[in-house]
Amino acid sequence: MAGRLKGKVALVTAAGQGIGRAIAEAFAAEGATVIATDIDPKKLKGLRRAEKLKLDVRSDEAVTALGRDIVRRLGPVEVLANCAGFVHHGTVLDCADEEWDFAFDLNVRSMHRTIKTFLPGMLKQKKGSIINIASIASSVSGLPNRYVYGATKAAVIGLTKSVAADFIKQGVRANAICPGTVQSPSLDERIAALAKQTGQSLKAVRQAFIDRQPMGRLGTAEEIAAFAVYLASDEAAFTTGQFHLVDGGFAM
């Protein structure tokens, strides 16, 4: 089935690498007009069939300005994929107030900003799909050393359900994807940091991440993107307000 997103304007945040990039590529391959954004535009290099724009999702002004520009040039956004996020490692005892504030601003409030900006256009055309990247580390499962990260991703699930409930009769759907451990540049950075912190080898730390996945392997960004395509498409017209586990059986 090709062209599943043909005619849809889709905006993807944090599209420079990992899950966000895979989603932008998958949306474009299915015929969407894709606006791929990232705070570091250099990371968007090489992304084909997408308009590449710098966006700081922590800035109210930047998100609002981008929204005005896109609507003026392309019309309302029909698909919004919120992929920006940061994984903080540690317990409550390791979380400073500044880290708490940063995590909630990037992982949760950024979604509030983009939804508030692009939702009016969806309501005007009476159709839209909002896809928020949450995590199994959330209200789904509690994981060690994911204190503030789990709190933010639980908030993402609550935010998603609230938007879905408020606009269910107006043609707008909102869903969350909860990945398990996925191979990405972000994971590589966390593995390197944890190896340095604990004195373990990179191989040992990586193996620990693999071992906690029941399938015995890490997920791929493309596997998450494939599910995002489904949620963005008209095939998912009867699906809203849910968190979807794409986790290799982690939360069984």
Q: Establish if 239 belongs to a structural domain.
A: yes
Mean per-residue pLDDT, 178-186: 96
pLDDT, position 183: 95
pLDDT at residue 13 in the model: 98
Model pLDDT, residue 116: 98
Instruction: Tell me the average pLDDT across 211-236.
Output: 97
In a domain, 2, yes or no: no
Q: Give a yes or no: residue 70 inside a domain.
A: yes
Instruction: Give percent of the chain with pLDDT exceeding 70.
Output: 100
Say yes or no: 200 and 103 in one domain. no
Mean pLDDT score, 215-242: 98
At 26 the pLDDT is 98
144 and 207 assigned to the same domain: no
For residues 139 and 182, the answer to whether their CB atoms sit within 8 Å is no
- The answer as to whether 4 is a domain residue is no
pTM of the model: 0.96
User: Do both 136 and 190 map to the same domain?
Assistant: no
Clarify whether 149 is annotated catalytic: yes
Alpha carbon dihedral 118, 223, 159, 153, in 10-degree steps, equals: -130
Q: Are 24 and 73 part of one and the same domain?
A: yes
Return d(Cα 222, Cα 88) in angstroms, integer: 23
What distance in Å separates the CA atoms of residue 28 and residue 50, rounded to the nearest whole number?
A: 7
151 and 71 together in one domain: yes
Do residues 91 and 19 share a domain?
yes
Q: Indicate the average pLDDT of the chain.
A: 97
Q: Is the pLDDT of residue 75 over 70?
A: yes
Count how many domains the chain has.
2
Q: Are residues 51 and 90 in the same domain?
A: yes
Same domain, 107 and 187: no
Region for 31 from its dihedrals, namely left if φ exceeds 0, alpha if ψ lies in -120 to 50, beta otherwise: left
Instruction: Extract the runs of DSSP E, i.e. beta strands, from the chain.
Output: 9-12, 33-38, 50-54, 79-82, 128-133, 172-179, 243-246
Domain of residue 189, residue span: 183-218
Confidence (pLDDT) at 2: 79
Residue 169 has pLDDT above 80, yes or no: yes
Q: Which residue among the candidates 149, 167, 243, 250 is catalytic per the annotation?
A: 149
Mean pLDDT of 152-178: 98
- State both tokens at 122: 């969806």
Both 19 and 127 in one domain: the answer is yes
Surface-to-core class of residue 132, CB atoms within 10 Å of its CB (0-12 exposed, 13-18 middle, 19+ buried) = buried
Average pLDDT over residues 146-150: 98
Confidence grade of residue 224 (pLDDT, cut at 50, 70, 90): very high
pLDDT in tens, 23-71: 999 999 999 999 999 999 999 999 999 999 999 999 999 999 999 999 9
CATH of the domain at 115: 3.40.50.720
One domain for residues 108 and 191: no
pLDDT score of 1 more than 70 = no
**Residue 115 and residue 76 in one domain:** yes
| Percent of the chain scoring above 90 in pLDDT | 98
CA angle 171, 175, 177 (to 5 degrees): 155
Say yes or no: 69 and 14 in one domain: yes
Which string of b and e fits 207-221 if b means at least 16 CB within 10 Å?
Answer: eebeeebeeeebbeb
